[in-house]
Amino acid sequence: MINVTKTELPPLEKYIEYLQTIWSSSWITNDGPLVQLLEQRLQEHLGVEHLIAVANGTMALHCALKVLRLKGEVITTPFTFAATTNAILWENLVPVFADIDSETFNLDPDDVERNITDKTSAILAVHIYGNPCYTEQLQEIADTHHLRLIYDAAQAFGVEYKNRPVLNNGEISTLSFHATKVYHTAEGGAIVSDDDQIVEELKLMRDHGIKSEQEVTIPGTNAKMNELQAAMGLCNLESIEKHVERKKKIYEHYKKRLNSTEVRFQKIVASKYNYSYMPLCCENSEKKERLLLELLKIGIKPRQYFYPLTVNYAYFNHNRDHVADRNNLKNAIDVSRQVLCLPSYPSLDMKIIDTIIDLANSVLEDT
């Protein structure tokens, strides 16, 4: 089966070199030397002032929402992975879903503004598929209405918008280094902020709130990254540029050869992009279904990221109170029905990509 992605692993010898340093010190977790080194390298690589490595991208979101002491409603996108919405619910906040822009697939700033009430405390936007949000407009809205602005940048590793790291927007950005991401530490994630006070508190928060042996100053959690994860991250940092370059080739090949009139692509607004995903939209969602079935028949498994919308998860049916369900989510509903993410990973053979493209062109053009 050809899946939508395949985890790239570093040369085993390289990983073993790091393991040897761990074995010689027996320091395997609790802010170890490899985590510290990874944080430093990632700060340099990503062009950010502070980066705090954590256990995964979901913990990064939990800590980001917690540290800002939010109350009431958080305006967010329904066109995302479950973790974005779940994290809001875990903090006992109410997700309010605004519509997305039909071209970039990110939150539509005008619809965000329409959904602001006196209960709104924050905006949690997502750079979906790594494509940057309209950050200036969102910042302006946040400033005007005194809202906190957080970005779920789980998919936006290494992306730049208007020649600046996309992670330097908002008060906090969170990253995921899950094995399916373009850059990974098996499981892992990070929190980025340029606010010293927030950074200090987040460091305490990820380690139970322990300030010293006899002082626990906040009710923290265990969100620590361990040394095995950091070792994987240090190895993978060496090949990230090569992998993105290869994914760019794959992306461009798909885009050039998928020439059915039924197809449209996400409008990418990044000045530097990571080509994480290969989303294709078929205006005719029945044809999309057909294409999915035909691909499955020949052992190719694209994914319907993100169908269903998080607002349509069954658990909201039982407790409508949690959802300020007053929105018109037309664009999100349409894109969610139309989208199919095609396989894209560095070791994927171009011949397989051509097979996918030929099949897609013929299924979509078939009347």
Ligand X SMILES: Cc1ncc(COP(=O)(O)O)c(C=O)c1O
Residues lying near ligand X in the complex (CB under 6 A): 56-58, 80-81, 83-84, 126, 152, 154-155, 176, 178, 189
Select 244 or 357, whichever has its Cβ closest to ligand X: 244
Cβ 333 vs Cβ 309: under 8 Å: yes
Q: CA separation (Å) from 190 to 239, 300, 312? A: 19, 32, 28
In the block, tokens 């993410």 appear at: 341
Q: Considering the complex, what minimum distance in angstroms separates the CB of residue 215 from ligand X?
A: 29
In whole angstroms, give the CA distance from residue 135 to residue 170. 8
Amino acid at residue number 28: I
Q: How far is the CB of 154 from ligand X (least distance, A)?
A: 3
Q: Which two tokens stand for residue 339?
A: 């989208």
Q: Please give the residue whose beta carbon sits closest to ligand X in the complex.
A: 57
Smallest gap from Cβ 84 to ligand X, in A, equals: 5
Using alpha carbons, select from 249, 366, 351 the residue that is nearest to residue 300. Answer: 351
**Closest CB to ligand X among 84 and 336?**
84
Q: Which is nearer to ligand X, 269 or 360 (CB)?
A: 269
Cα-to-chain-centroid distance, residue 236: 18
User: At its nearest, how many Å lie between ligand X and the CB of residue 26?
Assistant: 27
Nearer to ligand X, 68 or 190 (CB): 190
Q: Which is nearer to ligand X, 81 or 134 (CB)?
A: 81
Q: Report the nearest approach of ligand X to the CB of residue 31 (Å).
A: 19
**Which is it for the CA torsion 132, 308, 317, 82, positive or negative?**
negative
Nearer to ligand X, 155 or 173 (CB): 155
Residue 215 region, left (φ>0) first, then alpha (ψ -120 to 50), else beta? beta
Tokens of 1: 């089966």
To ligand X, the closest distance from the beta carbon of 186 in angstroms equals 10
